[in-house]
Structure 1
């Protein structure tokens, strides 16, 4: 789990630093080695954006770990049902979102496995040139994309073999709200309120 969360935390730090140094505003301090000043506005905005990203990743991970894909699809279909008036393919959207949530941890594990294999071959050593790092990063990205396409083909073949088709669907078990669902909704509302307070309050 730590190996999966490491790139997520690194990306959150990157988002924070980008806002810290590139958001115009009142200067906090200017470092001699860096031509870009840090600003109070960047500090606040970077913290909010990093918090939003981490909250999104954690919530998506918890949702995918605790909810079966079939229930995810059924729940999303109900939430998106009003869009059927506009002839939006809500079922397809629900399936796509559910699959994205389901396979996001898998892709992170695949990325970590590729990095480990590269390190075993002597890559990523201290003092490595930037050009070589960029070249290796491009190779890792291409390998990850190829793996994603391969998994997508396997998933499509499995869905076709199980008779998946577009159109109205029925559920073996009808979803109903319970106390735990209301508690989760209250927690989500609290996080949303905190996020809005951090974003809009001075």
Structure 2
């Protein structure tokens, strides 16, 4: 099994190039922050609308089915399971209370049913339904919007967008370039970590170790040896990267001009950015 291709954790999709790939990273970052902030103190209708909008964006971008299954399929299943578990678990409101209105007023006023559906020991109440929608949609929106951003934005584009937005902090003597260089190296180091884990896993499998005959103590010793080897290999990779930068004369970002990515605003970028105005208008009016 190829761990680097089967593990759907923020991997960048190089091909095919969708319309999301061609957007300016600053525009995508603005929409990402809108998706992260928008669900705060919002009603359930707005939360469900955000989920539908994310699914529509994914479908219109024509992301391949294999990527769609890895990126959104598992997350959808997890959120649906979370929603179902929330519906069948007790809500904690089992206390009896005295109604404030007389009996005749209770018959006149509009009937309010707290229990939405009940079958034997399963009881779905309005509180559990509301809580289930909030939890499932919130987790889906936060995780999938971030994952979709990483899926369609290269590490250099992310760094360029963040450097542009954090540029005013340089007046406060904040080392913006150093921080973003560290972020870029960290993003580039993730595939190396996955590659080392994959190589060690394959080496252990090829040795056909009889785990049942080793026992718990010897198995733990073996895994400690594997972990030590993994740490040693990662430190060696990090040292190789530092040596390569040192050989090329890179001592400090302040002395070397770091060009991450060339930012350009096109008509399509302006249109997508302007759509944030009706988005937030609907959020404050109906959300």
| TM-score computed with the length of structure 2 as normaliser | 0.43
Partner of 2:181: 95
What per-residue deviation string (whole Å, max 9, x for no partner) do you get for residues 40-84 of structure 1? 8589647754764465456435434xx6x4x65544322321222
Listed as ranges, the matches of 1:60-79 within 5 Å are 60=150, 62-64=152-154, 69=156, 73-79=159-165
Query: Do structure 1's residue 175 and structure 2's residue 262 form an aligned pair?
Result: yes
Listed as ranges, the matches of 1:1-202 within 5 Å are 3-8=3-8, 28=88, 45=135, 48-49=138-139, 52-53=142-143, 56-57=146-147, 59-60=149-150, 62-64=152-154, 69=156, 73-123=159-209, 136-164=222-250, 165-167=252-254, 169-170=256-257, 175-179=262-266, 182=269
> How has the CA–CA distance of structure 1 residues 84 and 108 changed in structure 2, closer, same or farther, with 3 Å as cutoff?
same
Q: CA deviation at 1:120?
A: 0.9
More helix by proportion, 1 or 2? 1
Structure 1 alignment gaps of length 5 or more: 31-38
CA contact (8 A) 1:73 1:94 kept: yes
CA contact (8 A) 2:4 2:191 kept: yes
The secondary structure found in structure 2 opposite 1:118 is: helix
Structure 2 alignment gaps of length 5 or more: 10-69, 91-127
Q: CA RMSD in A?
A: 4.9
Paired residues, what number?
Answer: 171
| Structure of greater relative contact order (alpha carbons < 8 Å, 6+ residues apart) | 2
Choose 1 or 2 for highest CA Rg: 2
The secondary structure found in structure 1 opposite 2:186 is: helix
Q: CA deviation at 1:159?
A: 0.9
What per-residue deviation string (whole Å, max 9, x for no partner) do you get for residues 11-30 of structure 1? x88xx69x96xxxx967269
CA contact (8 A) 2:163 2:180 kept: yes
Q: Distance in 1 between matches of 2:191 and 2:247?
A: 25
Q: CA deviation at 1:174?
A: 7.5
| TM-score computed with the length of structure 1 as normaliser | 0.56
